[in-house]
């Protein structure tokens, strides 16, 4: 994980709200992974590392389903990023399609919310391909790299949701 952020830090920093020094430290990741496991065990989050089939030792992206809630909303937030070198290959769309299926069928959620900066056209296209619908725009929504950024708000719901 640390290597992913070391290799892509310059590219991802202008797009990410959670950018700090611990992302670049293998030691920090060792302790953070236990917190990620606890978050999953408690049903509050699902954080996935994306690996290439040809080189499964290399992390090329992340997909995080966070703030998972049950009754009455059954929803979560989705955040994701991919290595700059892997952009435009359809990998994120493929990975998110599988992850969303899991979240809807195994985790039992009804709604996934995802937001992106209007300037991040590629992110918008990924969500559009996956069926997310635009619900509006939030002004000064997330503090990113020291600046409040507007975001396009989108969501995807599961038509097959069952209690």
- Number of domains forming the structure of the chain: 1
CATH code for position 101 = 3.40.630.30
Give me the pLDDT at residue 19, please.
65
Residues 9-54: pLDDT tens digits? 888 888 887 666 667 777 888 888 888 999 999 999 999 999 999 9
Domain housing 82? 2-157
* Predicted local distance difference test score (pLDDT) of residue 27: 80
Say how far apart CA 8 and CA 1 lie, in whole Å.
11
Inside any domain, residue 58: yes
Whole-number pLDDT of residue 145 = 84
87 falls within a domain: yes
pLDDT above 70 for 152: yes
Give the model's pLDDT for residue 127. 98
Domain assignment present for 163: no
The 10s digit of each residue's pLDDT in 84-138 is 999 999 999 999 999 999 999 999 999 999 999 999 999 999 999 999 999 999 9
Distance CA 163, CA 143 (A): 35
pLDDT of residue 128: 98
- Is the pLDDT assigned to residue 63 strictly greater than 90? yes
**What does the alpha-carbon distance between residue 163 and residue 161 come to, in Å, rounded to a whole number?**
7
Is position 84 within any domain? yes
pTM, 2 dp: 0.91
Residue 2 has pLDDT above 90, yes or no: no
Overall average pLDDT of the 44-69 stretch? 95
Q: Could you tell me if residue 162 is inside a domain?
A: no
Strand ranges of the sheet holding 111-116, from the earlier edge strand across to the other edge: 46-51, 59-66, 75-82, 111-116, 147-157, 133-144
Q: Is 44 helix (H, G, I), strand (E, B) or coil?
A: coil
Q: Is 143 within a domain?
A: yes
Residue 79 inside a domain? The answer is yes
| CA–CA separation, 41 and 92 (whole Å) | 25
Instruction: Say if CB 152 and CB 118 are below 8 A apart.
Output: yes
Residue with tokens 């949701």: 161
Instruction: Please give the pLDDT value at position 18.
Output: 67
């Amino acid at each position: 994980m640390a290597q992913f952020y070391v290799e892509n830090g310059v590219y991802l920093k202008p797009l990410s709200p959670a950018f700090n020094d611990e992302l670049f430290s293998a030691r920090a990741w060792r302790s953070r992974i236990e917190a990620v496991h606890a978050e999953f065990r408690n049903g509050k989050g699902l954080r996935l590392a994306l690996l290439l089939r040809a080189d499964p030792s290399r992390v090329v992206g992340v997909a995080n389903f966070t703030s998972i809630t049950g009754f009455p909303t059954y929803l979560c937030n989705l955040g994701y990023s991919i290595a700059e070198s892997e952009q435009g290959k359809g990998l994120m769309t493929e990975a998110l399609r599988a992850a969303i299926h899991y979240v809807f069928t195994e985790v039992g959620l009804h709604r996934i919310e995802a937001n992106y900066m209007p300037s991040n056209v590629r992110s918008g296209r990924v969500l559009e391909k996956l069926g997310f619908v635009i619900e509006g725009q939030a002004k000064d929504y997330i503090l990113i790299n020291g600046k409040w950024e507007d975001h396009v708000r989108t969501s995807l719901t599961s038509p097959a949701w069952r209690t």
